[in-house]
């Protein structure tokens, strides 16, 4: 639940295209678990990335993040969708934090699945919605 003093901040969307073999393996839950469960591990990595954005991008100042929500959805046999939402109290926008979170989540999925196939493609990263900062944006 977002309090009135909090602003709903950027939603970032990323489509990741993979191969049918990965879909079948994940669906049957037979993905090798050496590094842990794929989506849960990727979400943790994405949350960590949101918190470390200021260390990765020059001139991006550290922020007190109130909440991060990352959702990974299997759309079909060849694609997944990752959505990252970041919430902060204050006037500044956090689109860079959300973009970093969604990209690191996708890279973690790639890293954990690359032993099965390296034909995955990460693409179509876009800002869906942003409130706060200098302007509000809605690109759904």
Distance of CA 135 to CAs 8, 58, 98, Å?
A: 13, 22, 16
Write out the catalytic residue numbers: 111
Q: Cα dihedral angle (109, 110, 115, 119), rounded to 10 degrees? A: 130
Please name the residues in contact with 102: beta carbons below 8 A apart, sequence gap of 6 or more: 12, 13, 14, 46, 70, 82, 83, 84, 125
């Amino acid at each position: 639940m977002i309090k009135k003093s909090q602003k709903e901040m950027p939603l970032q969307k990323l489509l990741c295209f993979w191969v049918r073999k990965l879909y079948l393996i994940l669906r049957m839950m037979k993905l090798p678990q050496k590094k842990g469960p794929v989506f849960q591990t990727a979400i943790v990595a994405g949350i960590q990335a949101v918190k470390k954005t200021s260390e990765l991008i020059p001139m991006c100042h550290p922020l007190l993040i109130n909440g991060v929500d990352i959702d990974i959805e299997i759309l079909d046999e060849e694609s997944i969708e990752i959505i990252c939402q970041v919430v902060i109290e204050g006037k500044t926008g956090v689109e860079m934090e959300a973009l970093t979170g969604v990209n690191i989540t996708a890279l973690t999925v790639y890293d954990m699945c690359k032993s099965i196939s390296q034909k995955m493609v990460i693409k179509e990263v876009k800002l869906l919605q942003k409130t706060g900062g200098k302007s509000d944006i809605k690109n759904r």
